[in-house]
Structure 1
Amino acid sequence: MTVSARRSGVCLLALAAVLSLQPARAQESPTPPVAAPAAAAVEAQAKRPAITSFTLENGLQVVVLPDRRAPVVTQMIWYKVGSADEERGQSGIAHFLEHLMFKGTRNHPAGEFSGAVAAIGGEENAFTSYDYTAYYQQVPVEALERMMGFEADRMENLVLTDEVVLPERNVILEERGMRIDNEPGAQLGEAIDAALFQNSPYGTPVIGWRGEMEKLSRDDAIRFYDKYYTPNNATLLIAGDVDAEAVRGMAERTFGQVKRRAEPGPRLRPQEPAPLAAREVSLSDARVTQPSVQTVYLAPSEMNGKPGEAEALDLLADILGGGTTSRLYRALVVEKGLAAGTGAYYQGTAIDDGQFITYATPRGEATLADVETATEEEVARLLRDGVTAEELEAAKNRVRKALIYLADSQTAMARRYGAALSIGQTIDEVDSWPARIEAVTVDQVNAVAREVLQAKRSVTGRLLPGGLSDEADAKAPAGSPAAAGIPADPNSPPAPVGDTRS
């Protein structure tokens, strides 16, 4: 099972690659016309088998994504509930229930479902985020209906006794100890989120605060399960070598038998006030071997932003820090030789606010203060001079390529649609995203950069080796690749903290 700290969803493209883009001052010259690769991408999209969507009588939406390349199918069930929907004081219950869903039901004892997946060489997992919880299996296509039967069964027949719940509570507490309490980077991430989101539930970690996790009970789990794990609060994604009508029949025979048992209601959460002051958090720990700095800006998401803002932020992230041709990489790694790694990315697949992040780690004799200052200078230059039409077209071209690669992964495609539908988007909105990216102008990128990349909207987090409290002293440790001047992979930003079911 995976718990995503921060947002499990980066904007749609980030399921395939981390995008970044930078703003440039308003340009007199227009954006170049759409290049040949765009036409090729549109043609490739048109050749894909049509996506089918229908809704069962109990309210379950079913989406079929045909993929005829191999006799394999991916089933994903997405529940429209995540940690941001938890009652105050019960942080971690969404992730806790994700764990409990792998226990027994009235019809199948614990381990039978997972054993059936393993016996046919399949894969399974689950993940919890702020805005959704999802479960998936990838199996030979002939096993699909059996998997649908298992998944439908645990939607309504989960057995939750103290003998099941209390030992699993210890498991999630141990998980928090391993993945958060023993990981300085994860602890810093929690502190950054808590400082950035002062009122939103996004400031509470997905895995939960330890003191609240320790109090989660069987009654809490049952109440959460009964309210949210109902077919009218879920979306079933089937991707693979399947026929839509065949899937319809299987869905009606399995999920269609599950009764609608609750009405979760609208997802209304506390909203962030307008930010007024830049914030800073630092963590020094003896376990830190590589200092780093990241600045996280409160940004509009795909759902609460104005039309075109999320697309412009995706492209901005690519221009600013999306790889070896980005501004940050060229300036900090190539030209100045200060950083072992640097970049930027945008996390915008969210119901409420999103995030725009820059990050850097020093190399050689450079200090954390050096790379932080250099990053700030590049951001200031971008805001002053703006992005160019050429930069924007190059970023769009990288987006086109990433979408092509995304389509190569059956699971990634299902995740792309599942995440979007779970936050309230439609299939048409997912499908029109490439066209919306193509429509982004230089002026839009520059405008969103000026709006988002303001110090008062940011939290800067610094991770320091033990014994250091001053970033001016933090350098790459002697003997490390960074100290030797070997750049890190520019496409590997600090990974969101997670818990992975093994």
Structure 2
Amino acid sequence: MLRTRYLAALSFALLIMLVFFGLAFGRGSSLTAAPLPETFELSNGMNVLVIPDHRAPVVTHMVWYQVGAADEDAGKTGLAHFFEHLMFKGTQKIGPGQFSRIVARNGGKDNAFTHYDFTAYFQVIAKDRLPLVMEMEADRMTHLQLTDAEVLPERDVVLEELRMRIENKPSAELQSEMNSALYGEHPYGRDIIGYKDEIAALTTQDALDFYKRYYTPNNATLIVAGDVTAKELKPLAEKYYGSIERRAPTFIRKRPDIEWPDESKRVIRRDARVREATWMRYYPAPGYAGAGAKEGAALDVLAEILGGGTTSRLYRSLVVEQGISTGVQSWYEGSRLDGGKFGLYALPQVGGSLDKLEEGIEKELANFLAEGVSDEELDRAKTVIVASAVYARDNQRSMAYAYGEGLMTGMSVQEIHEWPDRIRDVTKEDVMAAARSVLQDTHPVTGELLPEGAK
């Protein structure tokens, strides 16, 4: 069962920010219409965030651990994602594989995901079953049982996942090479799932050491969204999580700084499985936390203006007017603690030239930097984002995810909550400053995916 998403979709960052917008935006609403989520801390250092949503007697219960693929020791890549799988292997109270079955029998659903900067586990369930999932999650935070009989077969599952998700997908292999070229020696330059030979060498003891070091309450954040208040949740949190003792110091990250490319790079991949060519480009960019509220919001608006849909600059020029592309998109991936990226993606017309496509993209970007953004483009971009957010706000799980991801990647509750107003405040000058900072003042990595034998 797939329990992780380690290859971001091209529009992933935009979709996540739409969730942020939706937390406070309604039709004609203001930021103050939505109360700030409540927070408190347990005596053992575990942080708690409560997001009330009383439209239905349902809750989303999430536990986020401040450890991800970028925190693995040298030679142990893939351990964070591998351990996510192992958290479902059982305790003395709950047998291997029974966790999800118990949730399902009680009308709920559960899953987990690994990121470069965090690992998280969640259940969506009726409010009256909240104590049940809290008890089970607290149990596996402390009493997980791992033996070779459980660990080694699951390692084979992860290796098969790597084959399916990366080795069998030429586009995924291209993205892996481009990330490596962009981020260099920084852990963001490798796939979350890890290197194949290092995954194959992971042991039960590796997993147990990882568990004891990182899966401690003072390295975790509990987020509950739904039909519950902080007053109701606090005694439950203290009962099930507050009694768990710290078993390791709070994790303090020590990662190398990202050294962005000092010259533009190109990655060309030819593959017999490819029928039509693909063009991509990654520009160095700060993450949301590093960019700050003003620049981060401007980068989101820039992505929408350039390649956010059929009314965007690049789509109108390359697809509608010139007819040299069948699709083009831009996006800003800011949900990373140490640094993000700004991406472009385009498909040529069938049988068309990537050189001509790239020339057209670069010409349009140069025109944009020279001419600037119009009032109409700015207003349209904001309108599209807000309109999409109206629908995104109805998803309780997405609300919890948005806050969790933001907190794990350097943002505060206040900053996440106020993000919609930051979008409203973006000016033409902000957009152009952001455009110059990523499109003009950096060295990008360009990727080409070609059929085998193509020149």
TM-score, length basis structure 1: 0.85
Matched, 1:88 2:74: yes
Match of 1:297, SS?
A: strand
Match of 1:236, SS?
A: strand
Match of 2:420, SS?
A: helix
Q: Residue 263 of structure 1 aligns with which residue?
A: 249
Match of 1:396, SS?
A: helix
Matched, 1:334 2:320: yes
Q: Residue 371 of structure 2 aligns with which residue?
A: 385
Distance 1:9 1:218 in 2: 37
Q: Residue 14 of structure 1 aligns with which residue?
A: 15
Report if aligned partners of 1:50, 1:66 keep a CA contact under 8 Å in 2: no
Matched, 1:362 2:348: yes
Q: Residue 45 of structure 2 aligns with which residue?
A: 59
Q: 101, 124, 146: which one pairs with 1:115? A: 101
Shift of 1:120: 2.4
Q: Residue 324 of structure 1 aligns with which residue?
A: 310
Shift of 1:7: 9.3
Shift of 1:16: 6.1
The CA deviation string for residues 68-122 of structure 1, in whole angstroms up to 9 with x for no partner, is: 1222111111111110111111110000100000111122111221111111232
Q: 165, 168, 179: which one pairs with 1:179? A: 165
- Larger mean Cα displacement after TM superposition, 189-198 or 306-315: 306-315
The residue type equivalent to 2:239 in the other structure is: R
Report if aligned partners of 1:200, 1:271 keep a CA contact under 8 Å in 2: yes
Matches within 5 A, 1:110-189: 110-189=96-175
1:385 to 1:9, Cα distance in 2 relative to 1, 3 A = closer
Matches within 5 A, 1:296-307: 296-306=282-292
Q: Residue 421 of structure 2 aligns with which residue?
A: 435
The residue type equivalent to 1:178 in the other structure is: M
- Larger mean Cα displacement after TM superposition, 378-387 or 310-319: 378-387
- Larger mean Cα displacement after TM superposition, 311-320 or 284-293: 284-293
The CA deviation string for residues 399-447 of structure 1, in whole angstroms up to 9 with x for no partner, is: 2223322211101111100001112321111111112222222112111
Distance 1:6 1:272 in 2: 20
1:182 to 1:364, Cα distance in 2 relative to 1, 3 A = closer
Q: Residue 358 of structure 2 aligns with which residue?
A: 372
Q: Residue 78 of structure 1 aligns with which residue?
A: 64
Match of 2:284, SS?
A: strand
Shift of 1:249: 1.6
1:18 to 1:364, Cα distance in 2 relative to 1, 3 A = farther
1:208 to 1:161, Cα distance in 2 relative to 1, 3 A = same
Report if aligned partners of 2:287, 2:339 keep a CA contact under 8 Å in 1: yes
Q: Residue 5 of structure 2 aligns with which residue?
A: 3
1:427 to 1:38, Cα distance in 2 relative to 1, 3 A = closer
Distance 2:167 2:156 in 1: 15
The CA deviation string for residues 235-276 of structure 1, in whole angstroms up to 9 with x for no partner, is: 111111123222112111111222111124322211122431
Shift of 1:129: 0.8
- Report how many aligned residue pairs link the two structures: 450
Report if aligned partners of 2:293, 2:415 keep a CA contact under 8 Å in 1: no
Distance 2:426 2:229 in 1: 36
Distance 1:84 1:7 in 2: 19
1:17 to 1:292, Cα distance in 2 relative to 1, 3 A = farther
The residue type equivalent to 1:15 in the other structure is: I
The CA deviation string for residues 212-245 of structure 1, in whole angstroms up to 9 with x for no partner, is: 1111111211111111111111111111112322
Greater share of helix = 2
The residue type equivalent to 2:362 in the other structure is: E
The residue type equivalent to 2:169 in the other structure is: E
Report if aligned partners of 2:277, 2:448 keep a CA contact under 8 Å in 1: yes
Q: Residue 25 of structure 1 aligns with which residue?
A: none
Distance 2:28 2:444 in 1: 36
Match of 2:288, SS?
A: coil
Matches within 5 A, 1:96-115: 96-115=82-101
Distance 1:286 1:66 in 2: 52
Distance 1:202 1:62 in 2: 28
Q: Residue 259 of structure 2 aligns with which residue?
A: 273
Matched, 1:463 2:449: yes
Matched, 1:192 2:178: yes
Q: Residue 382 of structure 2 aligns with which residue?
A: 396
Report if aligned partners of 1:16, 1:412 keep a CA contact under 8 Å in 2: no
Structure 2: 5+ residue runs without aligned partners? none
Distance 2:130 2:419 in 1: 30
The residue type equivalent to 1:129 in the other structure is: H
Distance 1:130 1:172 in 2: 17
Structure 1: 5+ residue runs without aligned partners? 20-36, 471-502
Matched, 1:247 2:233: yes
Report if aligned partners of 2:5, 2:114 keep a CA contact under 8 Å in 1: yes
Structure number with greater CO (CA < 8 Å, separation at least 6) is 1
Q: Percent identity?
A: 45
